[in-house]
């Protein structure tokens, strides 16, 4: 789809792009072969098209991300899928300035990596440079700023924030809610959310409970593995809005047969009992005061 895209060229919006396609300029190559007077624009674009070809040959995903409207970032995906990392962070619930990153999960479609505060979190800073494209859920306002602040660095990657792409397709809410829209089942981790993840980290830190850490990592793992599925679901729906759906639709990925780290039902039950006890206390307190 990226080679069929003209939205990264200044002053070319959706209407002009569609006019390009209708005029027979279905790709950069075809646009370059057409006489300029036949192109539905009053501005010279030949130089920009040649630069696009060069940037793609150099595998410069960030250049395209910087020039495309953010809501069109999905067009990057097939061309740069091999260099894509699906990432998600967990924190202790603190603010950007006062909180900490507890774990990071990274999935590249084949391999799952975990980074844990106090163990190997610093390795993430080097490992992420192996990739050119980041896919997140709400990462533009949470994960990426938190990572850049924590590591005191600036990420050079192209970025697709799936939350906004999915919202443009009518799927609103948090990651788990949208997963439900696509019948994605989290098994024993159903109902576990970001606050639950904060409590799991607390159990690990206060009691050295390895089961809580493993459950947190399993939860974090599903966040990134499911991102790949949702990325492809979003891409296929977006491509249907163009003339290229028949040749560009992508098959859904297979879920890994097994994960290296499995959630512990006992650790989940322990947190749920604590949450229930707290809710009962607050309910009783409110009743008597």
Q: Using the 8-state DSSP alphabet, how is residue 131 labeled?
A: -
- Reference 158, options 220, 105, 224, 81; nearest CA is 81
Task: Determine, yes or no, domain membership for 251.
Answer: yes
Task: Determine, yes or no, domain membership for 268.
Answer: yes
118 and 181, same domain (yes or no): yes
Please name the residues in contact with 11: beta carbons below 8 A apart, sequence gap of 6 or more.
41, 43
Q: Which domain holds residue 51?
A: 2-58
CB 2 within 8 A of CB 78: yes
31 and 121, same domain (yes or no): no
23 and 85, same domain (yes or no): no
- Reference 145, options 154, 158, 135, 136; nearest CA is 154
Of 30, 58, 86, at which residue does a domain stop?
A: 58
Task: Determine, yes or no, domain membership for 131.
Answer: yes
181-240 pLDDT, tens digit each: 999 999 999 999 999 999 999 999 999 999 999 999 999 999 999 999 999 999 999 999
Whole-angstrom distance, CA of residue 192 vs CA of residue 195? 8
24 and 166, same domain (yes or no): no
Task: Determine, yes or no, domain membership for 286.
Answer: no
149 and 190, same domain (yes or no): yes
Angle subtended at Cα 19 by Cα 18 and Cα 23, rounded to the nearest 5 degrees: 120
187 and 267, same domain (yes or no): yes
Q: In the chain, what are the helix, strand and coil shares in percent, each to the nearest 5? A: 55, 10, 35
54 and 83, same domain (yes or no): no
50 and 86, same domain (yes or no): no
96-121 pLDDT, tens digit each: 999 999 999 999 999 999 999 999 99
Whole-angstrom distance, CA of residue 266 vs CA of residue 255? 25
Task: Determine, yes or no, domain membership for 260.
Answer: yes
Task: Determine, yes or no, domain membership for 261.
Answer: yes
Tokens 């995906």 label which residue? Answer: 77
Task: Determine, yes or no, domain membership for 225.
Answer: yes
128 and 187, same domain (yes or no): yes
Whole-angstrom distance, CA of residue 74 vs CA of residue 166? 10
- Describe the crossing of helices 265-288 and 210-239 by its angle, rounded to 10 degrees: 90
- Domain total in the chain: 2
The pLDDT assigned to 284 comes to 52
188 and 155, same domain (yes or no): yes
174 and 257, same domain (yes or no): yes
Task: Determine, yes or no, domain membership for 221.
Answer: yes
pLDDT of the chain, 289 residues: tens digit per residue? 999 999 999 999 999 999 999 999 999 999 999 988 888 887 889 999 999 999 999 999 999 999 999 999 999 999 999 999 999 999 999 999 999 999 999 999 999 999 999 999 999 999 999 999 999 999 999 999 999 999 999 999 999 999 999 999 999 999 999 999 999 999 999 999 999 999 999 999 999 999 999 999 999 999 999 999 999 999 999 999 999 987 788 999 988 877 889 999 999 999 999 888 666 544 453 454 4
264 and 227, same domain (yes or no): yes
CATH number, domain with residue 123: 3.30.420.10
Which secondary-structure segment (H or E) carries 162? helix 162-168
């Amino acid at each position: 789809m990226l080679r069929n895209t003209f939205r990264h060229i200044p002053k070319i919006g959706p209407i002009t792009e569609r006019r390009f396609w209708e005029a027979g300029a279905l790709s950069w190559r075809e646009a370059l072969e057409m006489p300029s007077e036949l192109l539905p624009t009053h501005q010279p674009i030949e130089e920009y098209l040649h630069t696009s070809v060069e940037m793609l040959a150099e595998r410069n995903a960030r250049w395209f991300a910087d020039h495309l409207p953010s809501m069109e970032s999905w067009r990057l995906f097939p061309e740069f899928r091999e260099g894509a990392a699906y990432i998600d962070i967990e924190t202790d619930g603190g603010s950007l300035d006062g909180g900490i990153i507890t774990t990071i999960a990274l999935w590249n479609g084949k391999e799952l990596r975990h980074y844990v505060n106090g163990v190997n979190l610093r390795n993430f800073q080097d490992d992420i440079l192996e990739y050119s494209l980041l896919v997140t859920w709400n990462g533009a306002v949470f994960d990426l700023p938190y990572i850049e602040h924590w590591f005191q660095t600036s990420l050079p990657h192209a970025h697709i924030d799936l939350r906004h792409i999915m919202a443009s397709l009518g799927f609103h809410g948090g990651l788990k809610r949208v997963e439900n829209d696509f019948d994605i089942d989290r098994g024993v981790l159903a109902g576990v959310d970001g606050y639950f993840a904060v409590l799991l980290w607390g159990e690990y830190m206060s009691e050295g409970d390895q089961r809580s850490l493993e459950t947190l990592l399993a939860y974090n793992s599903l966040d990134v593995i499911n991102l790949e599925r949702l990325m492809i679901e979003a891409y296929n729906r977006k491509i249907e809005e163009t003339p290229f759906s028949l040749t560009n639709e992508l098959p859904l990925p297979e879920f890994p047969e097994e994960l290296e780290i499995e959630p512990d039902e006992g650790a989940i039950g322990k947190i749920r009992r604590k949450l229930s006890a707290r809710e009962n206390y607050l309910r009783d307190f409110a009743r008597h005061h």
